[in-house]
Structure 1
Amino acid sequence: MASRDDARRITGSLTDPRVIDPRQELVRHDDLSEEELAQVMGVLDAVRHWREAEQRLSFESRSRMKLNETDMKALRYIIASTNAEVAVTAGALAEHLHISTASTTKLLDRLERAGHIVRRPHPTDRRAVTVEITPETHREVRRTMGLQHARRFEVARALTPEEREIVIRFLDGLSATTLVTAPRE
């Protein structure tokens, strides 16, 4: 049975290729000095910590508001559209979320029952309705997700223009790695 110290040691080495790929079958690292390897692992650890923190925040916000991830995406879209003075229709929401109109109807029914949105007649199209976020839900989303976004903005703002370009290139490169399908054996 593994001890807590063993568990901490393993958790702390999840980005170390010497642990996860000791024969360098996937991750070549023999051309890096110990300092360079530690720095690369530091970058990957920081990305992992960011993802875990983001997932915790997202889970806590969704749990507190009794929402799933698609519900939260819908509310953020409704808020952004409202801020841009663009009326939100079910069709626009379905297109944004890449879900069917039937799924959008179920989503809107669920959000309306929970008191997060209201449907109103469209101002120019009698056949359509618009979707608006309730003031209470808008305040809650701003208090949680909005405040976090503001804090992230300040971190990015503190970087020099050159540093921002490096971070953009790094994160775009990292994102591109998730789009590659694993080879079949």
Structure 2
Amino acid sequence: MHGDDERDALVLSLMRAVRGFGDSHDRMSAGMKQGMAMNASDLAALRLLIIREEEGRPVSPRDLSTHLRISTASTTKLLDRLSASGHVRRAPHPSDRRARVIELTDAARHEFFRRFAPQLVAMREAMTGFSVEELAIAERAFRAMGAAIDLDV
């Protein structure tokens, strides 16, 4: 039974650590929102565009709508706002002429990474003391926690 108690304590400790990370991330995002004069959805849209760009995957307006869990009308308003501010552009889809994709502008990419670079560097440096195996386990744990809290309620 001692093993179960120890495991339960470790699970709670991990959940507290994830919550602490979430709080830190929220504070960082709040600072970025203020610095870039954006709301939470705007910043989340930029994050998705950056992630998908790194993966080499295009982002459609529908992808944004689904990811942000907002209506198509709200997505259109968001894209109009981000286009007007020079953060995104609508472009032809690479393989479907009828469809459009959303792309970051060079200026938005530069601004995002200029503001976020210190945190990215610090996060990478924080990981240097972990083995490949530990990092793989941490990734698995974070993905499982993300999936658990991202359920449609």
Greater helix fraction, Structure 1 or Structure 2: 2
Q: Which residue of 2 aligns with 1:124?
A: 95
Q: Which residue of 2 aligns with 1:102?
A: 73
Task: Flag the structure with more relative contact order, 1 or 2, with Cα contacts below 8 A and sequence separation at least 6.
Answer: 2
- TM-score (normalizing by structure 1): 0.58
Shift of 1:122: 2.4
Distance 2:31 2:108 in 1: 15
Matched letter for residue 102 of structure 1: A
- TM-score (normalizing by structure 2): 0.68
Q: Which residue of 2 aligns with 1:92?
A: 63
Q: Which residue of 2 aligns with 1:63?
A: 34
Which residues of 2 match residues 1-185 of structure 1 at below 5 A? 50-160=21-131, 164=135
Please say which structure displays the higher CA radius of gyration.
1
Equivalenced residue count is 145
RMSD: 3.6
Judged with a 3 Å threshold, the aligned counterparts in structure 2 of structure 1 residues 164 and 86 are, in CA distance, closer, same or farther, namely closer
Matched letter for residue 65 of structure 1: M
Q: SS at the partner of 2:127?
A: helix
* Aligned residues with identical type, % of pairs: 36
Judged with a 3 Å threshold, the aligned counterparts in structure 2 of structure 1 residues 59 and 127 are, in CA distance, closer, same or farther, namely same
Matched letter for residue 141 of structure 1: F
Unaligned runs of 5+ in 2: 1-12
